[in-house]
Structures are given as C-alpha cells and as structure tokens.
Amino acid sequence: MKPGNWRKAWWLSILLIFVSACSGALDRLFPGKQIEDIYRPPSLGASSTPAQSPPAALPGTPTSATIITPTPACVNNLLFLEDLTVPDGSLVLPGAQIDKRWGIENSGTCNWDQGFSLKLVAGPEMGARVKQALYPARSGTRATIRIVFSAPQEPGTYRSAWQAFSPNDQAFGDPIFIEVVVGTTEDG
C-alpha cells in the first residue's frame, strides 16, 4: 500500500467509527427514526418527501382550525314610522285623557328587553311618567309604543319629545313626539 493510500484508509476508518457512534446516539435519542427522518436538507423545487401531519393538539389548546373572534357589539336604533293615534296638532279638551300610539321599528341589531326605556327629553310630561318601559322588540321588528297623557288645563299648544335609551343610558334612534292643542270647540 502506498503511503498516501494508507492515510486515506486510516481517515476513512476513523470516519466510519464516528458515523457508527453517531448513529447509535441518534438511535437512542430518536428510536425508530432514520437520519433522513430527522434532517431534511432544504430544497429549491418540489419536495418528494410526503407531507407529515402536525402533532395532535393538547385538549383546550387552540389549533389552526380554531378561529377566535370577538363578538361584535350590537347597534341600537329606533326608526319612527307613523303616528297611529292623535295626529300632531289635534284639538283636545282641557284635562282630557290622550291615548297616544306611535308605530316604530327596531332597526338596530340589538333586541330590546326590560333594560331599554323611553324618556322625556323635551317639553311637558302631561301627566305621564318621565321614564317609560320601551316595548320589548327583537331586531328588525315593528312595534307600537303607547303612552297615556293628560291634557293640561290651560289652553295652548303643547309638544312633548321622547327618546329611546339603552340599558347603559345612551340615547339612540329617532325621537318621537306628541303635539296637541288644548282648547274647546268654541276656541277654534
């Protein structure tokens, strides 16, 4: 054997011993795995290696299929549709009971429950409570709001404005009104 070949054989033997020692260490660290299962060199083209499924998620751990999105807050709105009784400018007798009804729509995305109210925002209360329960209505439905008033004793024109309020006391939607003229048939 030539002296140069002897050195090559010696290094090759050392390399084989090293590789077999490493292989044993890898078997102990990764039992049942081949070296190519642990290390894959990067490729520039399509991979011929089959895709592996991701490890199973622990219970209660979000996965890529779990999308957590906050629930958006609903939006309150009231749309005035029409006066159902007592048109604006109606003549009423002093002290008369006035049964006022408005057609409205819950045009928001929130359902109205017992936390919603209708409050006097301008003008006289004309014998009505200044805070009324707002008719419970689901989003997108029509409803009737009813308040029973008492006409003032003094002749004149009286206008009262009412507004819807959310449970956290935020005004919303169209205001609704009652406007009456208190007098007698002889006044007109």
Structure tokens at 142: 């029509």
Alpha helices in 30-118 (DSSP H): 35-38
What's the rounded mean pLDDT across residues 70-80?
90
**CA–CA separation, 79 vs 188, rounded Å?**
34
| Confidence check: pLDDT of 99 > 70 | yes
What's the rounded mean pLDDT across residues 64-69?
69
The whole-number pLDDT of residue 46 equals 47
Mean pLDDT of the chain: 81
What's the rounded mean pLDDT across residues 98-113?
97
Could you give the 3-state DSSP secondary structure of residue 23? helix
The whole-number pLDDT of residue 152 equals 97
**CA–CA separation, 119 vs 28, rounded Å?**
78
Name the residue ranges covered by the structural domains of the chain. 3-38, 78-182
CA-wise closest residue to 102 among 48, 151, 149: 149
| Confidence check: pLDDT of 10 > 80 | no
Neighbours of 96 (CB within 10 A): 13
Max avg pLDDT among 13-22, 28-37, 58-67, 124-133: 124-133
The whole-number pLDDT of residue 32 equals 61
Please give the CATH topology (third level) of the domain spanning 78-182. Answer: Immunoglobulin-like (2.60.40)
Percent of the chain with pLDDT over 70: 63
Residues present in the chain in total:
188
Neighbours of 122 (CB within 10 A): 11
Could you give the 3-state DSSP secondary structure of residue 38? helix
